[in-house]
Amino acid sequence: MNYIGQDVRSCDLKKILPKEGDKCSIRQNTLRRSINCIGITLHGGEKVALTLRPAAADTGIVFRRIDIPGSKEIRASWDNVTDTRMCTTISNGDGVTVSTIEHLMSALAGCGIDNVYVDLDGHEVPVMDGSAQPFVFLIECAGVLEQDVHRRVIKILKPVRVDAEDKMAELLPSDTFSVSFEIDFDNEVIANQTISVNMVNGNYKKEVARARTFGFMHEIEKLQAAGLGLGGSLDNAVIVAEDKVLNEDGLRYNDEFVRHKVLDAVGDLYTAGSLICGSYRGVRSGHALTNKLLQALFSDESAWCYIDLGENAISHSVQSDNLTEDLVAISV
């Protein structure tokens, strides 16, 4: 496999990287200080304490179950995903799990946090208000600290697609990171909704972060019988009953339902381990299909590459059998 000569400059770094003011951040970020919260979990219905802690460069997003002494850390990685029923669950080799990571992961991606420890005293991330906005607020309160190590992004080199019945998810080459989504429900409140969001100029916070998870009143008993949705309420989800939204304050966006699917996709895609330079498109897809998409992407070394960002150079790398080999440096 040879990428020498590949034009990596087609990736518009200023458009895919989170910004600090008007300055494009090419360096990794962590939090300035630790910050914590306590909330109810969506599926378990339990009260769980969560603490976000600063982490060294190249740590990544790492979850720690502090309620299980001596348990191994769990890296938020696509190959640690072990369950995608109604949420994204990761686990370590000892079977210790953390579930419903997608909203927090989405906020971390949207705020450009590369390295953080997530400490929990339970097996599920609190749902907060059902969106990513409370986590964005926590991150902003903690502050963002730029680190002295350059970022590495994943550039999509060719289309990768997975299908399941009437569902589809794909990644396409692009010079930015964007997410397009289509949903179609047999319900007049939701019906068919489509959206495309280019993740630039604060669009994540404005257009995505506040969109809440949603569910149908007639499905609640079935979910709870399966041990899911035990903590769901009008305080942390949009509930639809036949032809109306039950939440007293209504919707935050006219198309809040499809925007929440974008929020989920951003979080699930961040289990790739880096920001993505490419375009994601989902049609009625969810956690399972997005994880299968990442599996398909990383199983095809010709479909992607790493771009290491430097002030004066880009190091173009690929990863194979746990060995990363620098192939070429291109001035920018």
User: Per mean pLDDT, which range of 60-69, 246-255, 305-314 is the poorest?
Assistant: 305-314
pLDDT at 255: 97
Q: Give the mean pLDDT of the chain.
A: 87
Rounding to the nearest 10 degrees, give the CA dihedral for residues 127, 130, 132, 138. -50
Q: Are 287 and 102 in contact (CB under 8 A)?
A: yes
pLDDT at 15: 55
User: Which residues, other chains included, contact 216 with Cβ-Cβ below 8 Å and sequence gap of 6+?
Assistant: 187, 239, 240, 241
- The label of the residue with tokens 């990794």 reads 28
For the segment 157-194, what is each residue's pLDDT rounded down to a tens digit? 999 999 999 999 999 999 999 999 999 999 999 999 99
Q: What domains are defined for the chain? A: 8-331 (3.30.1700.10)
Q: Are 156 and 310 in contact (CB under 8 A)?
A: no
Q: Are 100 and 127 in contact (CB under 8 A)?
A: yes
pLDDT at 27: 95
218/331 Cα distance (integer angstroms): 58
Cβ-in-10-Å burial (0-12, 13-18, 19+) of 321 comes to exposed
DSSP state of 72: P
Q: Are 179 and 189 in contact (CB under 8 A)?
A: no
Q: Among all residues, which ones are annotated catalytic?
A: 287
197/207 Cα distance (integer angstroms): 8
235/247 Cα distance (integer angstroms): 8
pLDDT at 16: 54
Confidence of residue 331 (pLDDT cuts 50, 70, 90): very low
For the segment 291-303, what is each residue's pLDDT rounded down to a tens digit? 999 999 999 999 9
Cβ-in-10-Å burial (0-12, 13-18, 19+) of 149 comes to middle
93/106 Cα distance (integer angstroms): 24
Does 310 have pLDDT greater than 80?
Answer: no
Does 9 have pLDDT greater than 90?
Answer: no
DSSP track, 263-299: HHHHHHHGGGSS-EEEEEEEES--HHHHHHHHHHHHT
Model pTM score: 0.88
pLDDT at 129: 97
For the segment 236-255, what is each residue's pLDDT rounded down to a tens digit? 999 999 889 999 999 999 99
Cα–Cα distances (Å) from 211 to 98, 107, 108, 192, 252, in that order, read 22, 12, 16, 17, 7
Does 84 have pLDDT greater than 80?
Answer: yes
What is the 3-state secondary structure of 134-181? HHHHHHHHHCEEEEEEECEEEEECCCEEEEECCEEEEEECCCCEEEEE
248/329 Cα distance (integer angstroms): 56
Does 205 have pLDDT greater than 50?
Answer: yes
Q: Are 213 and 86 in contact (CB under 8 A)?
A: no
pLDDT at 24: 52
Angle at 135 between CA 132 and CA 137, to 5 degrees: 110
Q: Are 195 and 180 in contact (CB under 8 A)?
A: yes
Confidence of residue 279 (pLDDT cuts 50, 70, 90): very high
For the segment 110-127, what is each residue's pLDDT rounded down to a tens digit? 999 999 999 999 999 999
- What is the average per-residue pLDDT within 225-244? 88
34/156 Cα distance (integer angstroms): 34
Nearest to 11 by CA among 301, 325, 305: 305
Q: Dig out the tokens for 46 from the structure.
A: 């339990």
